[in-house]
Structure 1
Amino acid sequence: MLPTIKDVAKKAQVSVATVSRVLHNLPGYSDITKQKVLKAIEDLGYQPNAIARGLINKRTQTIGVLFPNVSSYFSAGLLHGIEEVANERGFSVIVCNTDGKRTIKYLQVLREKQVDGIVFASEELKDEYYQALTDMRVPFVLVNNQSHKYSIPYIKVDDRQASYQATQYLIQKGHREIAMLAGTQSDPIAGTPRVEGFRQALSDYGIAFHESRIAYGDFLLEGGRIAMRRLLDEAAPFSALFAAGDEMAIGAMGVALERGLRIPEDLSIIGYDDLVIAQMVFPPLTTVHQPLTEMGQLASKKLITMIESSDPVSSSIVMHHIVERNTVKELNQYK
């Protein structure tokens, strides 16, 4: 028979109420008493019942996570960090794949599951989503996302600055004929800021911007392939390419090779994200590193702080950096 809270109380020679207070980190006992209770729990192998625990603290110890594409390498990196911290803090994670179309449906599901909080990842926070989230009366945080309309804690990199530095890197390697594979054109989260950073870098270095040298994809591999074909067919020749996502960059690399272009001898490419596949392709992809696991960890930490204490938390801009591998050739012509 599994040990009960009464067995713990008997072994520690305290009341059931005291054991309960220790379990839920409530005041009213000495440190000696706490150590006696914890030792009894360890000796007996007692596991508090989750349902009973929820009845006491009014929580289910679950958090919901919404991704527009849960199968992507990007989402996997974030989720690893989210789950790592959640599990350490005694929370379970419910993951929802919205596909950008089922967000309201899954918010309703999470409401019915009575989750304690929500991580809203990589998708624009539309008014209807914000209303549904506030109606749930649980805390929520944004990751790889930011709302300029609502004051919601977020965790992300500075996409505009990271894009600027990726473009600057190509320029400082001697490239002046530079094209871009951008994300979804209407995406204000990562799409627009990365294009703005690209254009600003060209402007600051006196390089003319050509609209034909931008092709829009969807941050996925096949989208990168389609957009790359468009660039090669329609744009003026270019010696370097900045792809606003690693999956698009790898899709572009495949198309370039199909067209007989060698990387980096004929075409230099820099990506964005530093996904695990960036190291697996040949040649390994030079890219902008986003600390995805750290971003997921921060999201969990902030959310659980809000759940357990109701204290406000601040937003975080995390650091990015360029990881040099083997897809950018130095032309030695920049002055």
Structure 2
Amino acid sequence: MNATIKDVARAANVSIATVSRILNNQPGYSLKTKQRVLKVIKDLNYQPNAVARGLINKKTRTLGILVPNVSSMFSSSLLKGVEDAAYTRGYSVIICHTANSGVRTMDYLHVLKEKRVDGLLFTSEVLRDAYYDEIRRMGIPLVLLATQSLKYSIPYVKVDDRMATYHAASYLIGKGHTRIGMISGNKEDRIAGQPRIDGFIQALKDHNLPFNENQIVYGPNFYFDDGQRLLPELLRKNSGLTAVLAASDFMAVGALSAAYSSGLRVPDDLSIIGYDNLEIAKMSIPPLTTVEQPLFQIGRVGGGMLIDIIEGKEHVEGRIMGHQIIERQTVRDLAK
């Protein structure tokens, strides 16, 4: 049978209140008493009840995180970073899979409220007004991962999507490509869609290359099927393309599949660059050149940022993480 706080108090010859104060680092006891109680806790292998402690100090040392697809390579990298930060700081994490559903998201917010989480992390999708209002009613801090709010002042951790695609397009141009197309996500997406489009267009303009609307095709999402379906459309609209920038690695791998089905060799006939640097980029044939989002670090920094807010350690604002081009084998150097 597991030891209880009453067992510890009886063996240490102190009150239950004294044991509780020692467990929660509150004053009101001597160093000698603390040492005696800690020794008894060790001897009895006493495991404090986290829920009971939370009722005393108003903290459960638990973070909630809302993710649209818990099984995706994108989300799993973020989650590993969050969990690493939480574990290092003595917190646990409750993961909620929202499936991009407003109803599920609201339901999970109610569950997390009942679980008395100390703070929330929200990732990879737009923060709707209903979510924000509910989180405000919960009265706990919120940090955004790989997204941001253009309406509310909320701390976030992400890359600069516009600059990342600017560098990706500039990389292709530096390799001698002047006929470049883009497979984009939803242009109505002001957080990740439109900024990546803007970066692509700006890079062409800054390198004195012409641009017309036919050079971009749009998907509703950033998925494999979108890239597979949209590459043939992009090639039909633009004769002589030598390179394609895809707005996600999944889209890029979809484009690789479509190129193979069309008899196009990558990179000999067509170069492709992705965006994210997910594990799938290393697994594709040929291995995919891509823009790296440091997703593990985004999760780790965001988790640490949320804990800092919970513990009142600092004033926290948004943070832009660095990105880099990961060179593999899908971009041909025409400049040589």
Is TM > 0.5 for Structure 1 vs Structure 2?
yes
| Change beyond 3 A, Cα 1:308–1:40 | farther
CA distances 1:210-240 after superposition (whole Å, capped 9, x unpaired): 2111111211111211222321233333101
The farther-off stretch of 311-320 and 198-207 is 311-320
| Change beyond 3 A, Cα 1:314–1:32 | farther
Q: Distance in 1 between matches of 2:137 and 2:313?
A: 17
1:288 aligns with 2:274: no
The farther-off stretch of 213-222 and 196-205 is 213-222
| Change beyond 3 A, Cα 1:327–1:34 | farther
The residue that corresponds to 1:167 in the other structure is 169
SS of the aligned residue for 1:271 comes to: strand
**Structure 2 stretches lacking a partner, 5+ long:** none
Q: Distance in 2 between matches of 1:63 and 1:16?
A: 28
Residue 310 of structure 2 aligns to which amino acid in structure 1? I
Describe how 1:292-303 pairs up with structure 2 within 5 A. 292-303=295-306
1:38: Cα distance to partner? 4.2
Q: Distance in 2 between matches of 1:85 and 1:12?
A: 35
1:191: Cα distance to partner? 0.6
SS of the aligned residue for 2:290 comes to: strand
1:97: Cα distance to partner? 2.0
The farther-off stretch of 154-163 and 77-86 is 77-86
SS of the aligned residue for 2:3 comes to: coil
The farther-off stretch of 69-78 and 250-259 is 69-78
CA distances 1:311-330 after superposition (whole Å, capped 9, x unpaired): 53232111111111111110
SS of the aligned residue for 1:86 comes to: helix
The residue that corresponds to 2:108 in the other structure is 106
For these two proteins, the number of residue pairs brought into alignment is: 333
1:179: Cα distance to partner? 0.7
SS of the aligned residue for 1:222 comes to: helix
1:12: Cα distance to partner? 5.5
The residue that corresponds to 2:150 in the other structure is 148
The farther-off stretch of 196-205 and 13-22 is 13-22
The residue that corresponds to 1:66 in the other structure is 66
Tell me if structure 1 keeps the 8 A contact 2:65–2:93.
no
Q: Distance in 1 between matches of 2:9 and 2:100?
A: 49
Tell me if structure 1 keeps the 8 A contact 2:175–2:332.
yes
The residue that corresponds to 1:208 in the other structure is 210
The farther-off stretch of 171-180 and 80-89 is 80-89
The farther-off stretch of 210-219 and 154-163 is 210-219
Tell me if structure 2 keeps the 8 A contact 1:166–1:288.
yes
| Change beyond 3 A, Cα 1:311–1:18 | farther
The farther-off stretch of 157-166 and 62-71 is 62-71
Q: Distance in 1 between matches of 2:232 and 2:22?
A: 63
TM-score by length of 2: 0.91
1:31: Cα distance to partner? 6.1
The farther-off stretch of 170-179 and 121-130 is 121-130
1:145: Cα distance to partner? 1.1
1:13: Cα distance to partner? 6.1
The residue that corresponds to 1:262 in the other structure is 265
CA distances 1:131-178 after superposition (whole Å, capped 9, x unpaired): 122122111111111122211110001111111111110000110101
Q: Distance in 2 between matches of 1:209 and 1:149?
A: 31
1:228 aligns with 2:270: no
Q: Distance in 2 between matches of 1:222 and 1:101?
A: 23
Tell me if structure 2 keeps the 8 A contact 1:167–1:198.
yes
1:329 aligns with 2:326: no
Q: Distance in 2 between matches of 1:112 and 1:154?
A: 25
| Change beyond 3 A, Cα 1:29–1:171 | farther
SS of the aligned residue for 1:231 comes to: helix
SS of the aligned residue for 2:150 comes to: coil
CA distances 1:276-309 after superposition (whole Å, capped 9, x unpaired): 1111111111111111111111221122222233
| Change beyond 3 A, Cα 1:302–1:177 | same
Tell me if structure 2 keeps the 8 A contact 1:62–1:94.
no
Give the root-mean-square deviation of aligned CA atoms. Answer: 2.2
The residue that corresponds to 2:3 in the other structure is 3
SS of the aligned residue for 1:309 comes to: coil
Q: Distance in 1 between matches of 2:62 and 2:55?
A: 14
Residue 332 of structure 1 aligns to which amino acid in structure 2? A
The residue that corresponds to 2:87 in the other structure is 87
The farther-off stretch of 156-165 and 8-17 is 8-17
Query: Percent identity at matched positions?
Result: 52
